[in-house]
Amino acid sequence: MLAPHLTAPLRELLHDFRTREEETLFCAPRWDEVPEQERTRWIAEMTEERLEAKKERLVDRYFDAPDLEALLHERLFAGLGYSKNDAPMSDLARRTPLALCRRLARRADGDVRDLEALLLGSAGLLPDPEDLLDADRATADYATDLAERFEQLERAFDLPAPMESERWQFFRLRPANFPPLRIAQAVALVAPGGLLHRDPLGRLLDAVRSEHPARNLRALLEANVPSDFWKTHFHLEKATTERDPSVGRRRIDTLITNAVAPVLLLHAEQHDDGALQTAVRDLLHALPVGSDRVTRRFRDLGTRPQDAFEAQGLHQLYRTRCEEGRCLDCAVGQHLLSPR
């Protein structure tokens, strides 16, 4: 019988359950009853589970022989898309392989518009002429030039049909997160000087093994600067006031955590490189915590992650245990439910 273990009358417990906030954690009222050492140990275990799951997802994409450059290409693009546009950005990366991007970059002679035409055209985000009727002359000319370039690229390289524009999410996004600008930032990754343009894996390995891995990895990603057009545009239909179109520090740290680190861990596994595995974990301990709805939820309970490593554990705990109500598969739930 459960009755001896109830902390309040059943009717009161049922009322609290049915009137709780939708995303309230079941264990929130008793979170502090779990010893901090036990919570810390479990969060670290959750981080390891999350890192392993990310690595396995990479392997699943290229089952026979994982192409780490292709995986890095896809994961970096997805990371630029944030949660709302990570899937179409992944698809865009697969549609625009590095070999083709590098070929266009080599013939660009400093002009990245062929690359912009390739990616924005493949994404289905080049505006139709009627969408440019209210655009200023410079914007209309730039967009029209990209459309003409994309038509030439389609004929020259037999490109797949463009993606449907409806796949891209704009609703409730800040302009800085609009897909055209994020794709322009992706163009900078594959353009001359960009991380993906030349030996990206070798450069990442050198950085993570250096004396200052976080700083050097950030430098590699901060060097990817979109063309000047994007200083005054969030999309291809209207100019705005000038600002820096580069990827911000917080997003760069997220790219390192969610894209770079899993690829490097997969490389370490392939080469049985224990030192590299340790270096990647040390890197995550060196990266700061980003504030999001998951970390804020645990912060409200008094558990503040100290670094990106711990934040990854809280995300895994929330996504795979809390959201799914798997309290019996959670060390916190087991502690609270065990007879004492």
Band of the pLDDT at 308, cuts 50, 70, 90? very high
**pLDDT of the residue at 319:** 95
Among the listed residues 4, 227, 247, the one whose alpha carbon sits nearest the alpha carbon of residue 114: 227
Kindly state the average pLDDT of the residues 202-213.
Answer: 98
Instruction: Report the alpha-carbon distance of residue 88 to residue 197 in Å, rounded.
Output: 21
pTM of the model: 0.90
Angle at 42 (CA atoms; ends 275, 21), nearest 5 degrees: 130
Q: Where are the beta strands (DSSP E) in 210-302?
A: none
Among the listed residues 134, 144, 233, 228, the one whose alpha carbon sits nearest the alpha carbon of residue 181: 233
Q: Are 150 and 127 in contact (CB under 8 A)?
A: no
Q: Are 252 and 222 in contact (CB under 8 A)?
A: yes
Among the listed residues 138, 292, 266, the one whose alpha carbon sits nearest the alpha carbon of residue 205: 266
Instruction: Report residue 293 CA to chain centroid gap.
Output: 15
Band of the pLDDT at 13, cuts 50, 70, 90? low
- Residue 221 in tokens: 């990603």
Q: Which amino acid is at 122?
A: S
Band of the pLDDT at 9, cuts 50, 70, 90? confident
Instruction: Report the alpha-carbon distance of residue 276 to residue 59 in Å, rounded.
Output: 18
Q: What is the mean pLDDT of the chain?
A: 92
Instruction: Report the alpha-carbon distance of residue 233 to residue 227 in Å, rounded.
Output: 11
> What three-state secondary structure class fits 66?
coil
Tally: H helices and E strands in the chain: 16, 0
Residue 172: other Cβ atoms inside 10 A: 7
Q: Are 253 and 287 in contact (CB under 8 A)?
A: yes
More confident residue, 279 or 1: 279
Band of the pLDDT at 63, cuts 50, 70, 90? low
Band of the pLDDT at 269, cuts 50, 70, 90? very high
Kindly state the average pLDDT of the residues 13-26.
Answer: 64
Q: Scanning the structure block, which residue is given the tokens 């711990």?
A: 310
Instruction: Report the alpha-carbon distance of residue 177 to residue 239 in Å, rounded.
Output: 16
**pLDDT of the residue at 151:** 97
Kindly state the average pLDDT of the residues 297-326.
Answer: 95
